[in-house]
Amino acid sequence: MRDRRPSLISSPPERLKALRVATDARVALGRTGASPPTRAVQTFLLDHAQARQAVWRPLDIEKMERALRASGADVVHVASRAQDRADYLRRPDLGRALSDEGRLALDGQAKGADVALVIADGLSATAVEMNAVPVATALLNSLASNGLTVAPITLATQARVALADDVGAVLGAKVAVILIGERPGLSAADSLGAYVTFRPETGLPDSRRNCISNIRDGGVPPVEAAGKIMTLISAMCLQETSGVTLVEFEKPLTALSD
Protein backbone atom coordinates (compact mmCIF):
# COMPACT_ATOMS: atom_id res chain seq x y z
CA MET A 1 0.00 0.00 0.00
CA ARG A 2 1.32 3.42 -0.97
CA ASP A 3 2.29 5.62 1.97
CA ARG A 4 0.23 8.84 1.71
CA ARG A 5 1.72 10.42 4.82
CA PRO A 6 3.84 13.48 4.06
CA SER A 7 7.42 13.24 5.26
CA LEU A 8 8.47 16.82 5.75
CA ILE A 9 11.61 16.26 7.75
CA SER A 10 14.38 16.45 5.18
CA SER A 11 16.64 13.92 6.92
CA PRO A 12 14.72 12.05 9.63
CA PRO A 13 16.81 9.85 11.93
CA GLU A 14 17.08 6.22 10.87
CA ARG A 15 15.01 5.09 13.85
CA LEU A 16 12.13 7.29 12.65
CA LYS A 17 12.41 5.93 9.13
CA ALA A 18 12.11 2.42 10.52
CA LEU A 19 9.13 3.42 12.64
CA ARG A 20 7.29 4.86 9.63
CA VAL A 21 7.67 1.52 7.88
CA ALA A 22 6.24 -0.35 10.88
CA THR A 23 3.20 1.85 11.58
CA ASP A 24 0.55 3.96 9.84
CA ALA A 25 0.75 6.50 12.67
CA ARG A 26 1.77 10.06 11.90
CA VAL A 27 5.52 10.06 12.52
CA ALA A 28 8.19 12.55 11.42
CA LEU A 29 5.77 14.98 9.77
CA GLY A 30 7.84 18.05 10.57
CA ARG A 31 6.49 21.50 11.48
CA THR A 32 6.22 25.05 10.26
CA GLY A 33 7.07 27.25 13.19
CA ALA A 34 4.98 25.87 16.04
CA SER A 35 2.34 24.32 13.75
CA PRO A 36 2.11 21.20 11.58
CA PRO A 37 2.80 21.77 7.88
CA THR A 38 -0.17 22.50 5.61
CA ARG A 39 0.14 19.18 3.79
CA ALA A 40 0.06 17.25 7.05
CA VAL A 41 -3.03 19.15 8.21
CA GLN A 42 -4.82 18.52 4.90
CA THR A 43 -4.02 14.81 5.06
CA PHE A 44 -5.34 14.69 8.63
CA LEU A 45 -8.60 16.39 7.60
CA LEU A 46 -9.02 13.99 4.67
CA ASP A 47 -8.52 10.95 6.89
CA HIS A 48 -10.99 12.36 9.42
CA ALA A 49 -13.59 12.91 6.68
CA GLN A 50 -13.10 9.38 5.36
CA ALA A 51 -13.56 7.96 8.86
CA ARG A 52 -16.82 9.87 9.33
CA GLN A 53 -18.05 8.81 5.90
CA ALA A 54 -17.26 5.16 6.63
CA VAL A 55 -19.47 5.26 9.75
CA TRP A 56 -22.47 6.91 8.12
CA ARG A 57 -22.40 5.53 4.57
CA PRO A 58 -24.88 2.65 4.14
CA LEU A 59 -23.69 -0.76 3.01
CA ASP A 60 -24.38 -1.49 -0.67
CA ILE A 61 -26.50 -4.60 -0.06
CA GLU A 62 -27.15 -5.38 -3.73
CA LYS A 63 -23.45 -5.17 -4.60
CA MET A 64 -22.51 -7.42 -1.70
CA GLU A 65 -25.23 -9.94 -2.48
CA ARG A 66 -24.21 -10.15 -6.15
CA ALA A 67 -20.57 -10.71 -5.22
CA LEU A 68 -21.42 -13.41 -2.67
CA ARG A 69 -23.82 -15.23 -4.99
CA ALA A 70 -21.17 -15.14 -7.71
CA SER A 71 -18.99 -17.22 -5.39
CA GLY A 72 -21.75 -19.82 -5.17
CA ALA A 73 -23.11 -18.83 -1.76
CA ASP A 74 -26.74 -18.54 -0.72
CA VAL A 75 -27.51 -15.24 1.03
CA VAL A 76 -30.15 -14.14 3.53
CA HIS A 77 -30.55 -10.44 4.37
CA VAL A 78 -31.49 -9.50 7.94
CA ALA A 79 -31.42 -6.36 10.07
CA SER A 80 -31.02 -5.61 13.75
CA ARG A 81 -33.62 -3.89 15.91
CA ALA A 82 -32.02 -0.50 15.23
CA GLN A 83 -34.39 1.44 12.97
CA ASP A 84 -31.78 3.64 11.27
CA ARG A 85 -28.13 4.69 11.51
CA ALA A 86 -28.72 7.31 14.18
CA ASP A 87 -30.63 4.76 16.25
CA TYR A 88 -27.80 2.27 15.73
CA LEU A 89 -25.14 4.70 16.96
CA ARG A 90 -27.14 5.86 19.98
CA ARG A 91 -28.37 2.40 21.03
CA PRO A 92 -25.68 -0.29 20.71
CA ASP A 93 -28.01 -2.75 22.46
CA LEU A 94 -30.45 -2.63 19.53
CA GLY A 95 -27.67 -3.53 17.11
CA ARG A 96 -27.00 -6.75 19.03
CA ALA A 97 -30.50 -8.19 18.55
CA LEU A 98 -32.23 -9.51 15.44
CA SER A 99 -35.36 -7.77 14.26
CA ASP A 100 -38.53 -9.86 14.21
CA GLU A 101 -38.39 -9.91 10.41
CA GLY A 102 -34.79 -11.08 10.48
CA ARG A 103 -35.56 -13.87 12.90
CA LEU A 104 -38.46 -14.98 10.69
CA ALA A 105 -36.20 -15.01 7.61
CA LEU A 106 -33.68 -17.24 9.38
CA ASP A 107 -36.41 -19.52 10.74
CA GLY A 108 -37.08 -20.56 7.15
CA GLN A 109 -33.50 -21.80 6.63
CA ALA A 110 -32.12 -25.28 7.25
CA LYS A 111 -30.79 -25.79 10.76
CA GLY A 112 -27.75 -27.49 12.25
CA ALA A 113 -24.92 -26.39 9.95
CA ASP A 114 -21.39 -26.55 11.29
CA VAL A 115 -20.73 -22.85 10.67
CA ALA A 116 -22.96 -19.78 10.45
CA LEU A 117 -21.20 -16.96 8.59
CA VAL A 118 -22.46 -13.41 9.12
CA ILE A 119 -21.27 -10.37 7.16
CA ALA A 120 -22.30 -7.14 8.87
CA ASP A 121 -21.88 -3.44 8.18
CA GLY A 122 -20.80 -2.59 11.73
CA LEU A 123 -19.11 0.80 11.99
CA SER A 124 -17.55 0.81 8.52
CA ALA A 125 -19.41 -0.18 5.36
CA THR A 126 -16.21 0.72 3.50
CA ALA A 127 -14.29 -2.05 5.27
CA VAL A 128 -16.97 -4.62 4.49
CA GLU A 129 -17.23 -3.74 0.80
CA MET A 130 -13.45 -3.82 0.36
CA ASN A 131 -12.53 -6.90 2.38
CA ALA A 132 -15.44 -9.15 3.37
CA VAL A 133 -15.96 -10.99 0.08
CA PRO A 134 -12.30 -12.09 -0.31
CA VAL A 135 -12.27 -13.35 3.29
CA ALA A 136 -15.61 -15.12 2.91
CA THR A 137 -14.65 -16.73 -0.40
CA ALA A 138 -11.38 -18.13 0.95
CA LEU A 139 -13.09 -19.30 4.13
CA LEU A 140 -15.95 -21.03 2.29
CA ASN A 141 -13.47 -22.88 0.08
CA SER A 142 -11.54 -24.10 3.11
CA LEU A 143 -14.69 -25.19 4.93
CA ALA A 144 -15.93 -27.10 1.90
CA SER A 145 -12.60 -28.83 1.32
CA ASN A 146 -12.70 -30.05 4.91
CA GLY A 147 -16.25 -31.35 4.76
CA LEU A 148 -17.78 -28.71 7.02
CA THR A 149 -21.29 -27.47 6.28
CA VAL A 150 -22.16 -23.78 6.14
CA ALA A 151 -25.54 -22.12 6.57
CA PRO A 152 -26.59 -19.51 4.00
CA ILE A 153 -24.52 -16.37 4.52
CA THR A 154 -26.37 -13.86 6.67
CA LEU A 155 -25.92 -10.32 5.36
CA ALA A 156 -26.78 -8.05 8.29
CA THR A 157 -27.31 -4.29 8.49
CA GLN A 158 -27.22 -1.96 11.52
CA ALA A 159 -25.41 -4.82 13.24
CA ARG A 160 -23.09 -5.13 16.23
CA VAL A 161 -20.76 -8.06 16.92
CA ALA A 162 -23.17 -9.89 19.23
CA LEU A 163 -25.79 -10.15 16.48
CA ALA A 164 -23.89 -13.26 15.38
CA ASP A 165 -24.95 -14.94 18.63
CA ASP A 166 -28.61 -14.45 17.72
CA VAL A 167 -28.01 -15.65 14.16
CA GLY A 168 -26.03 -18.70 15.22
CA ALA A 169 -28.61 -19.64 17.86
CA VAL A 170 -31.55 -19.40 15.44
CA LEU A 171 -29.70 -21.45 12.81
CA GLY A 172 -28.50 -24.00 15.38
CA ALA A 173 -24.89 -23.65 14.20
CA LYS A 174 -21.94 -25.03 16.14
CA VAL A 175 -19.68 -22.09 15.31
CA ALA A 176 -20.63 -18.51 14.45
CA VAL A 177 -18.30 -16.25 12.47
CA ILE A 178 -19.03 -12.58 11.89
CA LEU A 179 -17.08 -10.33 9.54
CA ILE A 180 -17.83 -6.76 10.56
CA GLY A 181 -16.60 -3.25 9.84
CA GLU A 182 -14.42 -1.97 12.67
CA ARG A 183 -14.58 1.52 14.13
CA PRO A 184 -12.65 3.78 11.70
CA GLY A 185 -9.56 5.55 12.91
CA LEU A 186 -7.41 8.32 11.50
CA SER A 187 -4.95 5.77 10.10
CA ALA A 188 -7.51 3.42 8.52
CA ALA A 189 -11.23 3.58 7.68
CA ASP A 190 -11.28 0.19 5.92
CA SER A 191 -10.43 -2.23 8.73
CA LEU A 192 -12.50 -5.41 8.97
CA GLY A 193 -12.82 -7.52 12.11
CA ALA A 194 -13.65 -11.23 12.44
CA TYR A 195 -15.21 -12.65 15.61
CA VAL A 196 -15.59 -16.40 16.12
CA THR A 197 -17.74 -18.09 18.79
CA PHE A 198 -18.31 -21.76 19.65
CA ARG A 199 -21.90 -22.77 20.49
CA PRO A 200 -23.39 -19.30 19.97
CA GLU A 201 -26.25 -18.27 22.24
CA THR A 202 -28.07 -15.00 22.73
CA GLY A 203 -26.49 -12.92 25.48
CA LEU A 204 -23.00 -14.42 25.55
CA PRO A 205 -20.28 -12.18 27.06
CA ASP A 206 -17.41 -10.83 24.97
CA SER A 207 -15.07 -13.23 26.77
CA ARG A 208 -16.61 -16.10 24.76
CA ARG A 209 -15.40 -14.69 21.42
CA ASN A 210 -12.06 -14.75 19.64
CA CYS A 211 -11.13 -11.83 17.41
CA ILE A 212 -8.94 -11.19 14.39
CA SER A 213 -8.73 -7.45 13.75
CA ASN A 214 -7.26 -5.06 11.19
CA ILE A 215 -8.10 -7.19 8.15
CA ARG A 216 -7.21 -4.94 5.21
CA ASP A 217 -4.51 -3.93 2.80
CA GLY A 218 -1.73 -2.78 5.10
CA GLY A 219 -2.93 -5.02 7.94
CA VAL A 220 -3.84 -8.71 7.89
CA PRO A 221 -4.42 -9.72 4.23
CA PRO A 222 -7.91 -11.22 3.61
CA VAL A 223 -6.67 -14.68 2.57
CA GLU A 224 -4.36 -14.84 5.59
CA ALA A 225 -7.26 -13.79 7.81
CA ALA A 226 -9.37 -16.63 6.41
CA GLY A 227 -6.60 -19.04 7.37
CA LYS A 228 -6.52 -17.64 10.90
CA ILE A 229 -10.28 -18.06 11.18
CA MET A 230 -9.93 -21.69 10.11
CA THR A 231 -7.29 -22.21 12.79
CA LEU A 232 -9.70 -20.85 15.39
CA ILE A 233 -12.54 -23.05 14.16
CA SER A 234 -10.27 -26.08 14.31
CA ALA A 235 -9.17 -25.31 17.86
CA MET A 236 -12.74 -24.64 18.96
CA CYS A 237 -14.20 -27.87 17.65
CA LEU A 238 -11.38 -29.91 19.18
CA GLN A 239 -11.53 -28.18 22.58
CA GLU A 240 -15.28 -27.44 22.51
CA THR A 241 -14.80 -23.92 23.81
CA SER A 242 -13.99 -20.41 22.61
CA GLY A 243 -12.85 -17.08 23.98
CA VAL A 244 -10.50 -16.75 26.92
CA THR A 245 -10.55 -20.50 27.67
CA LEU A 246 -9.41 -21.46 24.16
CA VAL A 247 -5.82 -22.59 23.65
CA GLU A 248 -4.94 -21.50 20.11
CA PHE A 249 -2.70 -23.72 18.04
CA GLU A 250 -2.15 -24.92 14.48
CA LYS A 251 -3.84 -28.23 13.68
CA PRO A 252 -5.41 -29.72 10.53
CA LEU A 253 -9.17 -29.37 10.39
CA THR A 254 -11.45 -32.28 11.18
CA ALA A 255 -15.22 -32.50 11.01
CA LEU A 256 -16.97 -30.94 13.96
CA SER A 257 -18.08 -33.50 16.51
CA ASP A 258 -21.67 -33.72 17.71
Nearest to 77 by CA among 123, 34, 108: 108
Q: Is 78 annotated as a binding residue?
A: no
Cα distance between residue 80 and residue 98, in whole Å: 4
SS3 per residue for the chain: CCCCCCCCCCCCCHHHHHHHHHCCCCCCCCCECCECCHHHHHHHHHHHHHHHHHHHCCCCHHHHHHHHHHCCCCEEEEEECCCCHHHHHHCHHHHCCECHHHHHHHHCCCCCCCEEEEEECCCCHHHHHHHHHHHHHHHHHHHHHCCCCECCEEEEECCCCCHHHHHHHHHCCCEEEEEEECCCCCCCCCCEEEEEEECCCCCCCHHHEEEEEEECCCCECHHHHHHHHHHHHHHHHHHCCCHHHCCCCCCCCCCCCC
Q: Is 41 annotated as a binding residue?
A: no
Cα distance between residue 142 and residue 10, in whole Å: 48
Considering Cα of 213, then 219, then 221, then 222, what sign does the dihedral take?
positive
Q: Is 161 annotated as a binding residue?
A: yes
Binding residues for adenosylcob(III)alamin: 161, 182, 211
Binding residues: 161, 182, 211
